[in-house]
Amino acid sequence: MACKFYLIKRKNLLAEFGHPWVFSSDIEGFYGTYKNGDIVEVYAHNNRFIGKGYVNDVSKIAIRLLTRDINEEINEDFFKRKLKAAWEYRKKVIDTSSCRFVFGEADFLPGLIIDKFEDYYVIQSLALGIDKYKDIIVKILKEDYGAKGVYERSDAAVREKEGLKQTKGFLTEPFDTMVQITENGVKYYVDIAEGQKTGFFLDQKENRKAIHKICKDSTVLDCFTHTGSFALNAGIAGAKSVLGVDISQHAVDFCRKNAELNNLSDTVKFECHNAFDVLRQWSGEGKTFDVVILDPPAFTKSRTTINSASKGYKEINLRGMKLVKPGGFLVTCSCSHFMSPELFKDAIASAAFDAEKTLRQVEFRTQAPDHPILWTDDESYYLKFYIFQVL
C-alpha cells in the first residue's frame, strides 16, 4: 500500500489548485513507510485525495504529482499514454521534425524533458522519481516513435538539489551525436552531446521565423548568437548583411559551420566579442544597423538576483536601441522565468527613456507551443520575446 502524505491546513496551497509540486513545507505528516523515489499518495488536511506522484525528501520539492486519478497506476502503460498525449498535441501545433516532445510538468511528467532531433532523441531527467523510469521511456521511444538513438543530457546542476549526480551518455547503442536538422528552411548541425542544454534551443522556433519579414534587405546584428540561429534566419530571409557575435570562440566556429551548411558564408558573418563591451563600443562609435537582435542567456535563475538581472537587461537594451537606425527594429528576449513579463517590460521602457527613443511594438510572443504554458504551473512560462520599431 502506498504511503499517504497529508498537507497542512492552509489556504492557497499550490498543489490543491493544480500545481504538480508539493513542497516539504506543505506537508503536515505521513502514514506508512516509503523510500525516496517511491510513488506516494497525497491528501488535503480533510482527507480529500489530491494526487499521487514520486517522493524525495532530499528536495524542497518533496513530491511531484503524476496523476490526480487515485486508480491510475504508474507503470509502462501510464508512460505510453502520457507520451502519446504529448505527441498528438505536438502534431497539432508545430512542425515535429525537430521539437520538444515532452516539457516536464506542462506535459504532466514532472522532471522529464525529451527533445526530438529528426530521428534522435535527447532525454533530460531532473528528478529522482523520473530516473527510475528511464529504461521504460527509452523502450517506448524506440518501439513507438522509431528512435534511432537516445542520448541522456542529465548534466544539469539542479539534479544536485535532488541528491543526484550530473550524468550524460548513450541510453541506446552509440551513434554519431552531431545531428543535422532543418527548421524554418535553415539547416543546422546540432551537437547533442556537447551543446548547451540538450544541444539546441527549440523554444525560439516560431520567433526565429517571425523576424524574416523585418530582415529582408536589411543590415542585421545578432548578439549572443550561440548557434547562429537568429543570424541564419535573417540570412535565409534575404538580409543584405548579418553579423552574429558571441563571447565563445567555440560557438563562433560552430556558427560558421552552420553558415557554410546553408551557403550563407558571404552574407552571414560571425565574430567573437563580449556583447556588453561591443554594444557599448559600437554605440559610442555611431555604428548602426537596420535590425538589432538581443537573445541573451538567462541573467537570473533565482529571485535573489532579479535586481541585478533587471540592470543587465536595461543595459543591453539601451545599447542595442542606440545601434538601431531610426525606423529600424529591435528584437529583444528574456528566457528567465524569474524575470516576469512586467519586470522585463519595465527594463525595456527604462532603457528607451534613457536612450531617448520611442518604441512601437510590432509583436509580443512567448515560447513555441511545443513548450506549452500550464496555467497551474507558473514556472512553465519563461520566454518573453518582443519586436519593436525604434523611432
- Cα separation of 219 and 234, whole Å? 9
Task: Please give the DSSP secondary-structure letter assigned to residue 5.
Answer: E
Q: Which DSSP string do the residues of 123-138 spell out, in sequence order?
A: EEE-SHHHHTTHHHHH
- Cα separation of 337 and 371, whole Å? 13
SS3 at position 37: coil
Would you state the cell numbers that stand for residue 24, as one nine-digit string? Answer: 516539504
- Cα separation of 316 and 348, whole Å? 9
- Cα separation of 30 and 33, whole Å? 8
Position of cell 491546513?
A: 9
Does the active-site annotation cover 335? yes
SS3 at position 341: helix
Catalytic residue among 215, 223, 333, 335: 335
Q: Which DSSP string do the residues of 178-221 spell out, in sequence order?
A: EEEEEETTEEEEEETTTSSTTSS-GGGHHHHHHTHHHHTT-EEE
Terminal-residue alpha carbon distance, the chain: 66
Residue 291 to residues 242, 344, 349: CA-CA distances in angstroms?
9, 20, 18
Position of cell 522519481?
A: 129
Phi first, then psi, for residue 245 (nearest 5°) are: -125, 145
294 closest CA partner among 255, 322, 252, 266: 322
268 closest CA partner among 289, 247, 238: 238
Would you state the cell numbers that stand for residue 136, as one nine-digit string? Answer: 521504460
311 closest CA partner among 350, 257, 360, 342: 350
Under 8 Å CB-to-CB from 237, ≥6 apart: which residues?
211, 212, 213, 215, 216
Catalytic residue numbers, as ranges: 335
